[in-house]
Amino acid sequence: MNWFGKKKTTAPTTVSATSTARPADPQTTIVTLRETIANQEKREEHIARKMEQMVQEAKVKMAKGDKKGALFAMKRKKLFEAEIDKIQNVKMTLETQVISLESAAQNAQTFKAMETGSKTMKKIRTEVGIEMVDDIMDEIKEEMEMANEINEAISQPVDPLMADDDELLEELNALESADLEAELLAPPTKVSDFSLPTVPDSKLPALEQKEADDLKALEAELAGL
């Protein structure tokens, strides 16, 4: 029970947008910082012109004998000088942030590249390990040995009698020795035993009558030419 009037409603807590906002990428932040530096330089140039105006105004007032006005102008000049000092400090801070962000962005990019390279190398090493390489090399050696054996088997002659060459040569040598021995042991042959071809003792048969007549007719024809 509330004895002191209405119950106060608790205002809902709000979270600032800046605390939940997603940070911009480094390149966007660098561009924003450089734009801010450019604006600060423009303001610095504007204040420098104001300082020059205050100096001229102080000179004019002094010429007129208005020392109080001249002093006021110089005080304003001092204020502008202090503002320029602040602007220069701000510019220095912004420039430092730009350099730091550029370096950090470069480091982050380098780190990502190195991380990607490391992951790629790890993946390759996983796919092609030292044990797999050893197995592949063993398989290659085994296949090469089998190929050499196949080549040797294919290059061998297929003559079925090649294995009996030595035996056949021995048999030929034995036959030659037997023939030579038989020739040496055979009795000598007499000259009268050789039969000469018979020589015919009769005249060769005459040409047939028709062939003889044709020959005579040809001779007579040639003689009449």
pLDDT digits (tens, 9 = 90+) for 171-191: 777 777 777 767 777 666 554
Can you give the length of the chain in residues?
225
Band of the pLDDT at 15, cuts 50, 70, 90? very low
Q: State mean pLDDT over 128-157.
A: 83
Q: Which residues of 182-216 are buried (b: 16+ CB within 10 A; e: fewer)?
A: eeeeeeeeeeeeeeeeeeeeeeeeeeeeeeeeeee
In this prediction, residue 158 carries a pLDDT of 63
- What lies within 8 Å, CB to CB, of 75 at 6+ separation is none
Residue with tokens 């089998």: 146
Band of the pLDDT at 217, cuts 50, 70, 90? confident
Q: Say how far apart CA 154 and CA 162 lie, in whole Å.
A: 16
What DSSP state is assigned to residue 44? Answer: H
Q: State mean pLDDT over 191-212.
A: 56
Q: Say how far apart CA 34 and CA 26 lie, in whole Å.
A: 12
Q: Which two tokens stand for residue 140?
A: 């290659």
In this prediction, residue 204 carries a pLDDT of 47
Q: Which residue has the higher pLDDT, 19 or 182?
A: 182
- What lies within 8 Å, CB to CB, of 47 at 6+ separation is 80, 83, 84, 87
In this prediction, residue 176 carries a pLDDT of 78
Residue with tokens 């502008």: 80
Band of the pLDDT at 193, cuts 50, 70, 90? low
Q: Which two tokens stand for residue 183?
A: 């020739």
In this prediction, residue 74 carries a pLDDT of 92
In this prediction, residue 1 carries a pLDDT of 46
Q: Say how far apart CA 35 and CA 41 lie, in whole Å.
A: 10
pLDDT for 130 beyond 90: no
Instruction: Encode pLDDT of 38-94 as tens digits.
Output: 999 999 999 999 999 999 999 998 998 989 999 999 999 999 999 999 999 999 999
Q: State mean pLDDT over 158-170.
A: 65
Band of the pLDDT at 3, cuts 50, 70, 90? very low
Alpha helices in the chain, H assignment, sequence order: 17-20, 26-64, 67-127, 130-155, 165-185, 209-224
CA distances from 132 to 122, 124, 125 (A): 15, 12, 10
In this prediction, residue 92 carries a pLDDT of 96
pLDDT for 117 beyond 70: yes
Whether CATH 3.50.50.60 fits 23-110: no
